Amino acid sequence: MDNGFGSGEESLVKLQIEKMVYGGAGLAHQTDRSGAGRAIFVPFTLPGEVVEARLTETKGESGEAALVCVVEGSKDRVGPGCVHFGECGGCHYQHAAYGAQLGLKRGILMETLQRSGLTSLPEVQVHSAEAWRYRNRIRLRVAEVAGELRVGYVQRGSAEFLPVRMCPIAAPLLWRAAEALLKLGRDDAASAVWVRAAVEVEFFATADESKLQMTVLVRKEPGRGFAEFCGSLQGLVPELVGAGVAVLAADVPGRGRKVQRVREGAAWGVPGLSYAAAGESYWVSRGGFFQVNRFLIDSLVQLVTAGRRGELAWDLYAGVGLFSRALGRGFEQVVAVEAAAGDLTQTFKGEGRQAVAATTVEFLRRAVVQRERPELVVMDPPRAGVGAEVCALLARVQAAEMVYVSCDPVTLGRDLKAMVDSGYRLMELHMVDLFPQTFHVETMALLRR
């Protein structure tokens, strides 16, 4: 049946890209003979471009399309810096000059916040650094392809393995370690047992690339010899100071998706890294969370903490205490709250420092009952944001100032709207480009009562 838009999902269409949307695609509209329009999302395009694309999926008033060719290109279009761009699911904007990437992200952030109902937004201040070689951590799949061991990522739009031979957004040490791992898999029979047992491997390095940690994820440990394997790898990569095995158990259901259970296996060397950032040293256990952009961590910490002073500050979702330590320079008492608080409770000690092993909701419920009121609340939640209950509890706490660090503009907008409705004013917005070449946006928002 002819719906006026073409003859099926494999139709070729000519489109003009209007703008970029969160998620990495360009938005165009296809109009049928009656004048009705359908929103079409086309990845790897830029605003103003005229492209030819193939419709791959249509649902109601929207559809998705694959780019076939660029008919009229943007002045901001550049050649990608990686041979795997387009196939690999990791990067989305390598076809755009870096200055253009920053402008696109800034525009998407503003539009997303406005759609949340926020008005009179402050000017977004943009902070950036080196656009390549910035990642201090990568996690690679390991598989045999045509009889040869390869490392790789996931193919875009699927769960399929994509072998790669470069990753230019990773710190060079990380990729050097991946190549050394494959060399051992080829040339060293004893090490090959461990390399072939690996499902995935994760590398994490200090900002200066002087020290490296490795986690090998396996379905089943292949027996002894892990220390010898690590020693051989250290012979090729002297920066390796510690490694461990994570044994993957069967996936278990959890809130609509599968949750992977892991138990610790063999270990070698030291169990973590001392990571220097923002004038402090942070102990990060192997596998622990830390900000991924080695060039912008100092700038982020300064934005969140510089010039803020008082008697009491709370750092919610504190992680290893990235902001907590810096806050200690300006506040008499800093309370750092983290559900997975292993590293935090071991290292955030001393006068004026308190580490609390609890969820943010649990902590705030108690604080409201006890009528505690800090001058400053800092929060850096996961992608899901802080949510309605935390916003409601913070409204009751009534801290004079709050700093919200977010990696998702949609949940940020939702939460900021709730905070503004409760009496806070949005004073500053900063976009910190922690993830160049991708659509991901990191934002710092400052609110005051």
- Please report the pLDDT score of residue 11 as a whole number: 82
Look at 89 and 5; give whichever has higher pLDDT.
89
pLDDT of residue 224: 92
Q: Taking 70 as the threshold, does the pLDDT of residue 384 lie above it?
A: yes
Band (pLDDT 50/70/90 cuts) for residue 8 is: very low
Residue 334 pLDDT more than 50?
Answer: yes
Average of pLDDT values for 387-403?
Answer: 98
How far apart are alpha carbons 24 and 108 in whole angstroms? 10
Cα–Cα distance measured from residue 171 to residue 255, given in angstroms and rounded to the nearest whole number? 35
In 3-state terms, what secondary structure has residue 47? Answer: coil
Sheet-wide strand order for 161-163: 161-163, 148-154, 137-145, 198-205, 212-218, 240-248, 262-269
- What pLDDT, on the 0 to 100 scale, is given for residue 97? 98
Measured CA to CA, the distance from residue 21 to residue 245 in angstroms comes to 39
Q: Average pLDDT of the chain?
A: 94
Of 6 and 324, the one with more pLDDT: 324
Backbone φ and ψ for 290, nearest 5 degrees, come out as -155, 150
| pLDDT band per the 50, 70, 90 thresholds, residue 251 | low
Is pLDDT above 90 for 128? yes
d(CA 164, CA 145): 11
Percentage above 70 pLDDT, the chain: 94
**What is the pLDDT averaged over residues 352-375?**
96
Residue 321 buriedness (CB in 10 A; 0-12 / 13-18 / 19+): buried
Angle (nearest 5°) at CA 328 between 314 and 397: 20
Kindly report, residue by residue over 45-72, the tens digit of the pLDDT. 999 999 999 999 988 889 999 999 999 9
- Asked if pLDDT for residue 6 goes beyond 80, the answer is no
CATH number of 12-77: 2.40.50.140
**Is residue 250 very low, low, confident or very high in pLDDT (cuts 50, 70, 90)?**
low
Quote the CA–CA distance of 254 and 85 in Å, as a whole number: 32
- What is d(CA 136, CA 212) in angstroms, rounded to the nearest whole number? 10
pLDDT digit string (tens) for 411-424? Answer: 999 999 999 999 99
Domain 106-130+293-448 matching CATH 3.40.50.150: the answer reads yes
The per-residue pLDDT for 210 is 98
Tokens standing for 181? 């791992």
Spatial CA neighbour of 7 closest among 51, 43, 54, 59: 54
Amino acid sitting at position 408 = D
Distance between CA atoms of residues 436 and 415, nearest Å: 25
The pLDDT score that the predictor gives to residue 35 is: 52
The amino acid present at 169, given as its one-letter code, is I
Nearest one of 318, 330, 323 to 303, comparing CA atoms: 323
Averaged over 232-249, what is the pLDDT?
A: 97
CA 213 to chain centre: 19
137-276 has CATH 3.40.225.10 classification: no
Contact by Cβ (8 Å): 316, 363? yes
106-130+293-448 and 137-276, same CATH topology: no
pLDDT of 150 > 60? The answer is: yes
**According to the model, what pLDDT value does residue 39 have?**
96
| Domain limits, the chain | 12-77, 106-130+293-448, 137-276
Instruction: Please tell me which residue, 31 or 405, carries the higher pLDDT value.
Output: 405
Please name the residue that has the structure tokens 């160049």: 436
Specify the pLDDT at position 16. 97
Instruction: Give the Cα separation of 111 and 8 in Å (integer).
Output: 32
pLDDT of residue 255: 45
Residue 351 has pLDDT above 70, yes or no: yes
Residue whose entry in the numeric block shows the structure tokens 């998620």: 23
| Banded pLDDT at 10 (limits 50, 70, 90) | low
Please state the rounded mean pLDDT for residues 297-315. Answer: 97
DSSP assignments along 395-429, one per residue = HHH--SEEEEEES-HHHHHHHHHHHHHTT-EEEEE
Phi and psi angles of residue 210, each rounded to the nearest 5 degrees, phi first: -90, -20
Q: What is the pLDDT of residues 75-97, one digit of tens each?
A: 999 999 999 999 999 999 999 99
Tokens of 46: 């830029």
* CA angle (239, 243, 246) in 5-degree steps: 150
Note the pLDDT of residue 32: 65
